[in-house]
């Protein structure tokens, strides 16, 4: 999708389709919508009077203009109730409009940013949100459809600007492009089937990103992991024929600064559950158990382009969790890089095991503030469902930073508690720690386990098990991987780097 900014008078813009918006509780059209309506002999107001257009959130009505204005069609987009309208909702509505336009074969879509938005939102955010919406809304994953591939593709997106700072909108567009491209990259990586997204392939993807941005990269192989005593990571990996890879990517944008953010992403390229095998239903979805890794890699790609004044160290433990003659047994005890020993109470609680070694290693490499992203527990879905990411922390200040970044990025997070009371859930009878305590507070158990490895380093854990993919196409998301938290991670780096 190519983006073009136009400052022509919007009403006389020749385009395939122009989006105009309408809110539910308005008595009449305003601004550009009103101008268009007049030129169309009030056909839109007629549709409103007949209640065919209500302005409900995400409502799309396509009206042909029959030569009355140079735009061939107008897409009337409902934004819902005005007092409930947020940038986040606007992003979702614009994405819905884009998806609809794409589905009917529209090749060129114009979105007008006019004076009327200026009073509520700043032009940089507006430019960013419009582009994000268009790119995220047009996303589709069908690389293996050889025969029935849909032909539809929006080739050009035009952002028409009127009565609002052009340079600000352009800055927003540039940023939106980088953010949405990263999120779509995370979606692609996550949607890729496990046979085509092995730990080795994931490591190759990381190398490509490193090469593109001249970042340092290191891939730790099995023998190196053994030397480092990463028994938790190796224990999970040992049931698979695919060798594990610890992927380390460094972006050093502030070499003079001792601080570094550590982004750690769970990279289980397939989670069968191990010996404590998962039930067969929806097991294919466990190809997406590397969503955290995908989010971190995609964010690094964007950070490489944006070049904020900050150091970021990404650590991605990548392996499969499989069943075989050499798979780890329930009851086994493994060593970790930290020196702490862990009793394996459940082979399906593998994410926290590989992250334990990765978190310790990120600290060892010099990360002073940590964020891990992981499809860690089914339990977070019981707690928060599918639209809000679970957040856990050991540090109030760092948590506030992450919350602020998520808010700016327009992604939802909600904190769950990590009180000391829960500490007993990770204590083992025969080792320092255990990876499962049975029923109750499952998401907290996972986080509490990770906390033992973050120790005193400020750390935030994002459990994206509910938000990493979606079963229905809705708002900015198409069925499948969402790329949730990519925009938040990029925002964290930008905020930290003061850019
Ligand atoms: N990858 C799963 C968590 C998951 C579940 C992600 C559903 C996405 C959708 C994780 O490795 C897992 O299996 N967690 C178990 C832990 C339990 C056995 C202690 C869980 O949450 O059920
Ligand atoms: Mn598991
Ligand atoms: Zn898992």
If pLDDT is split at 50, 70 and 90, which confidence band does 125 have?
Answer: very high
Give the SS3 label for residue 18. Answer: strand
Asked whether 331 lines ligand 1 (CB < 6 A), one says no
- Ligand 1 neighbourhood includes 347 CB (under 6 angstroms): no
228 pLDDT higher than 70: yes
pLDDT in tens, 335-377: 999 999 999 999 999 999 999 999 999 999 999 999 999 999 9
pTM above 0.95, yes or no: yes
Contact (Cβ atoms closer than 8 angstroms) between residue 109 and residue 155: no
Instruction: Report, as an integer, the average pLDDT of 63-74.
Output: 97
| Closest C-alpha residue for ligand 1 atom 13 | 348
Ligand 1, residue 445: give the atom nearest the CA: 19
Over residues 128-162, the pLDDT tens digits come to 999 999 999 999 999 998 877 667 899 999 999 88
Distance in Å, CA 466 to ligand 1 centroid: 10
pLDDT above 90 (res 251): yes
Q: Give the mean model confidence (pLDDT) for residues 462-476.
A: 98
Residue 240 has pLDDT above 80, yes or no: yes
Neighbour tally for 150: CB within 10 Å: 11
Q: What is the pLDDT of residues 423-463, one digit of tens each?
A: 999 999 999 999 999 999 999 999 999 999 999 999 999 99
Question: Quick one: pLDDT at residue 133?
Answer: 98
Number of H helices, E strands in the chain: 15, 20
What pLDDT is recorded for position 376? 98
CB-based contact 283:390 (threshold 8 Å): no
Tokens for 11, please give them. 């009403």
- The position carrying tokens 């006389």 is 12
- Say if residue 113's pLDDT is above 90: no
| Contacts with 204 (C-beta within 8 Å, 6 or more apart), sequence order | none
With a 6 Å cutoff on the Cβ, whether 390 touches ligand 1 is no
Ligand 2 centroid distance, CA of 21 (Å): 44
The side-by-side arrangement of strands in the sheet containing 341-343 is 333-335, 341-343, 433-434
- Averaged confidence pLDDT in the chain: 96
Q: In angstroms, what is the span from residue 271 Cα to ligand 3's centroid?
A: 5
The predicted-structure confidence for 24-45, as pLDDT tens digits, reads as follows 977 778 888 899 999 999 999 9
| Residues designated as active site | 278, 352
Q: Where are the domains of the chain?
A: 2-164, 184-497
The helix-helix angle for 351-364 and 442-454 (nearest 10°) equals: 20
Q: Do domains 2-164 and 184-497 have the same CATH topology?
A: no
469 lines ligand 1 (CB under 6 A): no
- For the CA of 289, the closest atom of ligand 1 is 1
> What's the confidence (pLDDT) of residue 499?
58
- List all residues 6 or more positions away from 445 whose beta carbon is below 8 Å from its beta carbon: 377, 379, 422, 425, 426, 436, 437
What topology does CATH give the domain 184-497? Aminopeptidase (3.40.630)
- Residue 57's SS3 state is coil
Fold for 2-164, please state it. Answer: 3.40.220
């Amino acid at each position: 999708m190519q983006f073009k900014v136009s400052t022509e008078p919007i009403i006389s813009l020749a385009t395939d389709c122009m989006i105009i918006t309408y809110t539910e509780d308005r008595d009449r059209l305003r601004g550009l919508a009103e101008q268009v309506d007049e030129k169309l002999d009030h056909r839109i107001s007629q549709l409103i009077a007949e209640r065919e257009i209500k302005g409900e959130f995400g409502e799309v009505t396509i009206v042909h203009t029959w030569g009355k204005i140079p735009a061939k069609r107008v897409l009337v987009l409902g934004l819902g109730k005005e007092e409930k309208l947020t940038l986040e909702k606007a992003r979702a509505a614009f994405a819905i409009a884009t998806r609809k336009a794409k589905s009917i074969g529209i090749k060129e879509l114009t979105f007008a940013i006019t004076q009327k938005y200026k009073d509520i939102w700043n032009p940089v955010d507006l430019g960013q949100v419009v582009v994000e919406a268009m790119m995220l809304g047009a996303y589709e994953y069908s690389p293996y459809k050889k025969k029935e591939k849909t032909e539809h593709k929006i080739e050009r997106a035009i952002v028409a600007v009127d009565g609002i700072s052009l340079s600000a909108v352009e800055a927003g567009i540039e940023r939106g492009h980088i953010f949405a491209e990263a999120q779509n990259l995370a979606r692609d990586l996550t949607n890729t089937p496990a046979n085509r997204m092995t730990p080795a392939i994931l490591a190759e993807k990381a190398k490509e990103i490193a090469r593109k941005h001249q970042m340092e990269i290191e891939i730790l192989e099995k023998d190196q992991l053994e030397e480092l005593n990463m028994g938790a990571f190796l224990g999970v990996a040992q049931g698979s024929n695919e060798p594990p890879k610890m992927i380390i990517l460094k972006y050093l944008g502030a070499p003079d600064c001792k601080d570094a953010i550590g982004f750690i992403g769970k990279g289980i390229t397939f989670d069968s559950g191990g010996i404590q095998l998962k039930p067969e239903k929806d097991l294919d979805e466990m190809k997406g158990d590397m969503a955290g890794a995908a989010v971190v890699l995609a964010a690094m790609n964007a950070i490489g382009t944006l070049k904020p004044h900050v150091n970021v160290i990404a650590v991605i433990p990548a392996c499969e969790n499989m069943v075989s003659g050499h798979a780890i047994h329930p009851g086994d005890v493994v060593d970790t890089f930290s020196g702490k020993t862990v009793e394996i109470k459940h082979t399906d609680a593998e994410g926290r095991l590989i992250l334990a070694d990765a978190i310790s290693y990120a600290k060892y490499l010099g990360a002073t503030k940590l964020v891990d992203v992981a499809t860690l527990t089914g339990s977070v879905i019981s707690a928060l469902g599918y639209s809000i990411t679970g957040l856990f922390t050991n540090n109030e200040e760092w948590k506030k930073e992450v919350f602020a970044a998520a808010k700016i990025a327009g992604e939802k997070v909600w904190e769950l508690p990590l009180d000391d009371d829960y500490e007993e859930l990770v204590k083992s009878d025969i080792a320092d720690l255990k990876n499962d305590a049975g029923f109750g507070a499952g998401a907290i158990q996972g986080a509490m386990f990770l906390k033992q490895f973050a120790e005193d380093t400020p750390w935030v854990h994002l459990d994206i098990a509910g938000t990493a993919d979606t079963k229905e196409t809705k708002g900015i998301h198409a069925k499948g991987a969402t790329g949730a938290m990519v925009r938040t991670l990029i925002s964290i780096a930008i905020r930290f780097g003061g850019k």
